[in-house]
Amino acid sequence: MIEVFVTVNYKDRNYQTNVIVKKDMTREKIKRIAEKQVKKQWDI
């Protein structure tokens, strides 16, 4: 497992989040996980 820092643009703002993933995970899947985390945190 590795920790990856991802910058996500959500509602015209940039958010940086970290994702803990397996080494063989694709960039697209990591990005989807990061976007899901940001949306979950900022959608009230």
Q: How far is CA 23 from CA 11, 19, 27, in A?
A: 30, 12, 10
| Structural contact between residues 44 and 18, judged by C-beta atoms closer than 8 angstroms | no
pLDDT at 43 over 90: no
Average pLDDT over all residues of the chain: 95
pLDDT at 18 over 90: yes
What average pLDDT does range 3-17 have in this prediction?
96
| Structural contact between residues 15 and 39, judged by C-beta atoms closer than 8 angstroms | no
| pLDDT tens string 23-33 | 999 999 999 99
Domain boundaries of the chain, sorted by first residue: 2-42
16: which DSSP letter? E
Q: Can you tell me the distance from the alpha carbon of 43 to that of 41, in angstroms, rounded to the nearest whole number?
A: 6
Find tokens 């703002």 and name the residue.
13
Global pTM reads 0.85
Q: Can you tell me the distance from the alpha carbon of 7 to that of 26, in angstroms, rounded to the nearest whole number?
A: 16
